[in-house]
Amino acid sequence: MIKRLIRPLLNSFNKSQRPPAINHQIIPREKHNISRRHISRSAIKVMQRLGEGGFEAYLVGGGVRDLLLGDHPKDFDVATNATPEQVKNLFRNSRIIGRRFKIVHVRFGREIIEVTTFRDNHDANSSHKDNTKHSARSEEGMLLRDNVYGDIRSDAIRRDFTVNALYYTLDHFSIHDFTGGMQDITRRKIRIIGDATTRYQEDPVRMLRAVRFAGKLDFDIDKHTATPILEQGNLLGNIPPARLFEEVLKLFMGGYGRSVLPLLRQYDLLQYILPATDDALKRQLPFTEALIEQALTNTDLRIKNNQRVTPAYIYAALLWPSVCAEQAKLQAEGLPPVQAAQQAAQNIVNLQLQATSIPKRFTQGMREIWDLQHRLERRQGKRAERTFEHPRFRAAYDFVLMREQAGEDLKGLGQWWTEYQETDENGRERLVATLGSGNSQKRRRPRRRKPAPTQH
């Protein structure tokens, strides 16, 4: 009786742990659009030298996916059956990095080709007598170390999504597909390989990657891939803040942040990487949604135009509505405006640092941009000149323009500073002189009266 009750549970468990069925397809050159002319010469050199050394070598991952979609990838990764140590012996210009996942970086000038060794599912791999030295999991099922090596088939099912598990080889210039990735590219679907719940437990960042790829490629997320995300988003709390910082940069500084944001909100993942921003959007604070969307639109455009973008600016924009709300709260509690602004910035930065680490050079840049928002309003006397000479002036000025684009009425502040930059010294003096009286007029300090003579 007990066996009959337990057997279905065991079958269900075994089914979820069982590797996906492999249907190996080889797509010949005449049936795909990838040309060697669009592949980095450095990547081809790496593949050729590995082949000459007696090893297998394939272009794999996002590079293959993007080439099939007609894009021009910037990064190319190579997968091989050579161990990291064997790869390093072949390339003097290389070094092994990572402990959790050992990989090799082969450097050609400023270009780096990432070379990974085929991996295996260590739970199912019985060839390693001492697997604990090569792999480890946390109590939540997250992979802490994964350096069990296998072959191209096992490597394919260890990858995250089918569209990232396509292997291009210089042998007849064909593509090897073990997981249905070619079909999913045609269907424009993001589909995880294996059981979604288990794969997210292994690495919760895969949930962010699913959203990022869907936003970047304008793909839909497969139902079985999407459903567990709402239930398992809290697992992101187990990810080191430094790694989540890198993921935030990939989400919002890849040129498609405007498309990614709605998906992060749809799957309620924003709260784990930007808690203050998520709260501001949910509370519908004034100008929050419009400002953030404008910031991401501007950032996407700058990236597409190969213009410089800094994480300090992105974080400053994403957190600004929360800083303003916090400042208003502190002022209502009795703090003077300047002190309230400084304390509000500190409070919001501290809250963000609990989710993602941010290098000090970026937190300093954020706070300078926020501080300059108040200084840009105070333009009387020599203040405008001093503000204009500040190293962060241009970023703060762009920030003002963005706030106005989002619908905030700043009384023509952006236009005033535009004219100030475009005119000569005499013109700047006239602009300052025409600020008028009222709130913009320089306040006179009260004269100090002489103390009355002491009576003896």
For residues 6 and 88, which has the higher predicted lDDT (pLDDT)?
88
Which pLDDT does position 424 carry in this prediction?
96
Query: Confidence band (pLDDT; 50, 70, 90) for 139?
Result: low
- Using DSSP, state whether 141 is helix, strand or coil: coil
Q: Which of 77, 146, 155, 203 is catalytic?
A: 77
Residue 226 has pLDDT above 50, yes or no: yes
Which pLDDT does position 450 carry in this prediction?
55
Task: For residue 245, give both structure tokens.
Answer: 């910082």
Which pLDDT does position 99 carry in this prediction?
76
> Percentage of residues in the chain with pLDDT exceeding 90?
83
Q: Which of 160, 222, 278, 300 is catalytic?
A: 160
Q: CA-CA distance, 158 to 120, in Å (whole number)?
A: 7
Q: Which of 75, 220, 268, 279 is catalytic?
A: 75
Phi, psi of 67 (to 5 degrees): -65, -40
Q: What is the DSSP letter of 161?
A: B
Whether 77 sits among the annotated catalytic residues: the reply is yes
Q: CA-CA distance, 114 to 199, in Å (whole number)?
A: 23
Cβ–Cβ under 8 Å, residues 119 and 155:
yes
pLDDT tens by residue, 16-67: 444 455 689 999 999 999 999 999 999 999 999 999 999 999 999 999 999 9
284: alpha, beta or left? (left if phi > 0; alpha if psi -120 to 50): left
Cβ–Cβ under 8 Å, residues 199 and 138:
no
Whether 184 sits among the annotated catalytic residues: the reply is no
Q: What is the DSSP letter of 164?
A: G
pLDDT tens by residue, 315-356: 999 999 999 999 999 999 999 999 999 999 999 999 999 999
Neighbouring residues of 200: CB distance < 8 A, sequence distance ≥ 6: 206, 207, 228, 229, 232, 235
Q: What is the rounded average pLDDT for all residues in the chain?
A: 89
Which pLDDT does position 129 carry in this prediction?
45
Which pLDDT does position 18 carry in this prediction?
45
Which pLDDT does position 21 carry in this prediction?
54
Task: For residue 306, give both structure tokens.
Answer: 């190969």
Task: For residue 109, give both structure tokens.
Answer: 């000038």
Which pLDDT does position 447 carry in this prediction?
55
Which pLDDT does position 101 carry in this prediction?
83
